Amino acid sequence: MISFKNFSFKYNNVVDKTLKNIDLTINKGEKVLIVGPSGSGKSTLSHCINGLIPFSYRGEFEGELKIDDIIPYKESLSEVSKKVGTILQDQDSQFIGLSVGEDVAFSFENNAIPLAEMKVKVINSLELVNMVDFINHSPYELSGGQKQRVSLAGVLGSDAEILLFDEPLANLDPASGSEIMQLINDIHEKTNKTIIIVEHRIEDVLEQPFDKVVIIDKGVVKGVGTPNEILKSDLLTNSGLREPLYVEAMKLAGCDVSSEDNLRDINSINEENKEILKSWFKNETSSKTINKEEKILEIKNLTFSHDGVKNTLDDVSFYLNKGEILAVLGNNGAGKSTLCRSITGILKPKSGSIFLNNECIDSWSIKKKGSAIGYVMQNPNQMISQHMIKDEIALGLKCRNFDKKYIDEKVEEVLKICGLYPYRNWPVQALSYGQKKRVTIASILAINPDVIILDEPTAGQDYKHYTEFMEFIKELSNKGISIIMVTHDMQLTLEYCDRAVVLSGGKKIADDKPSNILTNKEIIKKANLKETSLSTLAKTIDIANTNDFVQFFIDLER
């Protein structure tokens, strides 16, 4: 279905080639995972497949690319889209209709299919993704997982033989992500379409079977193999990617992973490796976590309602200690974002109180709250308003009428703290996505907040940038700055957070160590979380106290 032969591509106005001498074949009916660090060229590769290159992004080609029986860059985008259906990372930008039914009908309307036949096709497409009951709903009212299903139904309505998914798990809670991956697998089995998935969350994606995994780094194909072959090798780590946690644990323990028949299946680990893991766990001693006990922020009985009828937050109480990193977990729509906006004063709670350093701040203005509690949005581009880095970091201080000497000194200080000093005279747009995130944090740090709230701080970041960013956050916490992180990333929660608060249906249902929460089946089910693969590994090797095993691995890795 897809054939790259010695294929290279260079964007206009860029010196170096983004793709270099790609030789890759994807056969009809295969299910393929494409992975690589940020800037590796995997998005460029997918844009070559779906026609966005050259129709949206211009550049120069070398070599040969064929999609089925056409050369995409010699055809119209309309012709390419008949071969390749794309499900974008941002579903909102893909919706056309005012209702789910209208949106799925869009491709049928374009093909002038009679109305009676069109209705049948729309219902059939929605039945495939279990969304018929939402046919008259607005797409924008749906949860993240439901939006993914509607986007998929819209593409299934076409005759495209290739389905390309761009980060289908982005912004989904763990359980919804698992459902979407299962759904994609079901669609693959029912239709035998060729499916290509580009995704960072390798462990979550590989729960489902794939015919092959393609690793791209620096514009070059570094490896192609079955999931089993890739996991047994060091290709993922050598390319700066994260192996599944259980594979990492097995390699740390000294297991012979090459002896495994199917390393993708945790439950099929052979007896010899089970004994090695048991011995490893028994012979090592876990480090003790440092207690941070000076309370800085306290939320008491917070209740909020958007419509005055249903509570989005319902009697939520918890605290945050000085220098602590606290995760806020929960399913899409649990009330996590509403909680953050209520704490910062963007939303006014119906009842309850917020205390900072034992002082009630309910009557404080948003400006005053914003000086003490910084809020960093998920997308840095939604926060940045200045052209130059120094100006962006200085903006909050200028708005508060500090003198120039103090502003210059403070900006220089936070530039060094955030690792941005070498770029101090750069324009913001010259930075990577991860560096822009640091700029937004630096602009908040400059006003000396006691608490920083981070919304999905690592969404869309590869393992290298994720690690750099989180080590930086850890350094801030060690300096006494308290951090609240809203996240769907269970690995981040386990590795970097001292504690986690879990919301479900607007209520707090847990407040505990991450290793205890992510091994608790009841909490996992209620909050659409997901049992960590380390917990599954512990059960496989008959370790009774799974949370001890999980904590042991995290402590050892840290």
Residues 454 and 342: their CA atoms lie apart, in Å, by 14
Residues 376 and 204: their CA atoms lie apart, in Å, by 26
Residues 536 and 546: their CA atoms lie apart, in Å, by 8
What pLDDT does residue 160 have?
86
189 domain-assigned: yes
The number of domains in the chain is 3
- For residues 140 and 226, the model is more confident at 226
Q: How many CA atoms lie within 13 A of 456 on its CB side?
A: 16
**Cβ-contact 320, 482 below 8 angstroms:** yes
Q: What integer is the mean pLDDT of 9-17?
A: 85
Residues 67 and 162: their CA atoms lie apart, in Å, by 9
The whole domain housing 262 covers 244-284+534-558
* Residue 291: pLDDT band with limits 50, 70, 90: low
Q: Which helix (H) or strand (E) holds 300?
A: strand 295-305
CA distances from 291 to 288, 294, 357, 470 (A): 9, 9, 18, 20
The verdict on 201 and 302 lying in the same domain is: no
CATH code, domain with 116: 3.40.50.300
CA nearest neighbour of 215 among 193, 243, 195, 192: 243
Helix, coil or strand: residue 220: strand
Residue 252 is encoded by which pair of tokens?
């740390």
What pLDDT does residue 96 have?
84
Mean pLDDT in the chain?
Answer: 88
CA distances from 530 to 129, 428, 455 (A): 22, 37, 20
The verdict on 248 and 385 lying in the same domain is: no
Lookup result for tokens 């995290």: 554
The verdict on 398 and 415 lying in the same domain is: yes
Which residues are CB-neighbours of 252 under 8 A, at least 6 positions away? 280, 553, 556, 557
The verdict on 116 and 13 lying in the same domain is: yes
The verdict on 60 and 113 lying in the same domain is: yes
CA distances from 58 to 53, 230, 429 (A): 6, 33, 20
290 domain-assigned: no
pLDDT in tens, 232-274: 999 999 988 889 999 999 999 999 999 999 998 998 999 999 9
The verdict on 396 and 449 lying in the same domain is: yes
Which residues are CB-neighbours of 555 under 8 A, at least 6 positions away? 286, 287, 289
- For residues 206 and 69, the model is more confident at 206
**Cα–chain-centroid distance for residue 56?**
25
**Cβ-contact 215, 36 below 8 angstroms:** yes
For the cut 60, the answer to whether the pLDDT of residue 511 exceeds it is yes
* Residue 490: pLDDT band with limits 50, 70, 90: confident
289 domain-assigned: no
Q: What integer is the mean pLDDT of 154-169?
A: 84
For the cut 80, the answer to whether the pLDDT of residue 407 exceeds it is yes
| Alpha-helical segments (H) within 192-284 | 202-205, 227-232, 235-238, 245-253, 271-283
Give the type of residue at 251.
K
Across 40-44, 314-318, 506-510, least confident range: 40-44
pLDDT in tens, 334-348: 889 889 999 999 999
Question: Phi-psi region for residue 402, left (φ > 0), alpha (ψ -120 to 50) or beta?
Answer: beta
For the cut 60, the answer to whether the pLDDT of residue 288 exceeds it is no
- In the listed set 171, 206, 238, which residue is the last one of a domain according to the structure? 238
Across 43-47, 141-145, 222-226, 283-287, least confident range: 283-287
Residue 155: CB atoms within 10 A of its CB come to 22
Residues 452 and 374: their CA atoms lie apart, in Å, by 5
Across 140-149, 305-314, 360-369, least confident range: 140-149
Helix, coil or strand: residue 169: coil
For the cut 70, the answer to whether the pLDDT of residue 460 exceeds it is no
What pLDDT does residue 283 have?
66
The verdict on 340 and 265 lying in the same domain is: no
- If you compute the radius of gyration of the chain from its CA atoms, what whole number of angstroms results? 25
Residues 387 and 400: their CA atoms lie apart, in Å, by 20
Residue 527 is encoded by which pair of tokens?
């909050």
The verdict on 385 and 263 lying in the same domain is: no
Residues 470 and 447: their CA atoms lie apart, in Å, by 21
Q: What integer is the mean pLDDT of 198-220?
A: 92
The verdict on 500 and 541 lying in the same domain is: no
Question: Phi-psi region for residue 130, left (φ > 0), alpha (ψ -120 to 50) or beta?
Answer: left
The verdict on 58 and 190 lying in the same domain is: yes
For the cut 80, the answer to whether the pLDDT of residue 170 exceeds it is no
Residues 429 and 436: their CA atoms lie apart, in Å, by 8
Give the type of residue at 354.
I
Helix axes 100-110, 115-128, angle to 10 degrees: 120
Percentage of the chain surpassing pLDDT 70? Answer: 96
Which residues are CB-neighbours of 517 under 8 A, at least 6 positions away? 329, 500, 502, 510, 523, 524, 529
147 domain-assigned: yes
Q: Which helix (H) or strand (E) holds 177?
A: helix 174-191
What pLDDT does residue 292 have?
62
The verdict on 59 and 25 lying in the same domain is: yes
494 domain-assigned: yes
The verdict on 263 and 374 lying in the same domain is: no
35 domain-assigned: yes
CA distances from 265 to 228, 231, 232, 247, 357 (A): 9, 11, 12, 10, 49
Query: The pTM is what?
Result: 0.80
**Cβ-contact 511, 499 below 8 angstroms:** yes
CA distances from 522 to 502, 517, 535 (A): 12, 9, 14
**Cβ-contact 85, 163 below 8 angstroms:** yes
pLDDT in tens, 346-380: 999 999 999 999 999 999 998 899 889 999 887 78
Lookup result for tokens 């580009």: 198
174 domain-assigned: yes
Residues 288 and 405: their CA atoms lie apart, in Å, by 44
Residue 475 is encoded by which pair of tokens?
């350094």
Q: What integer is the mean pLDDT of 547-558?
A: 83
pLDDT in tens, 41-71: 888 899 899 988 888 888 899 999 999 888 8
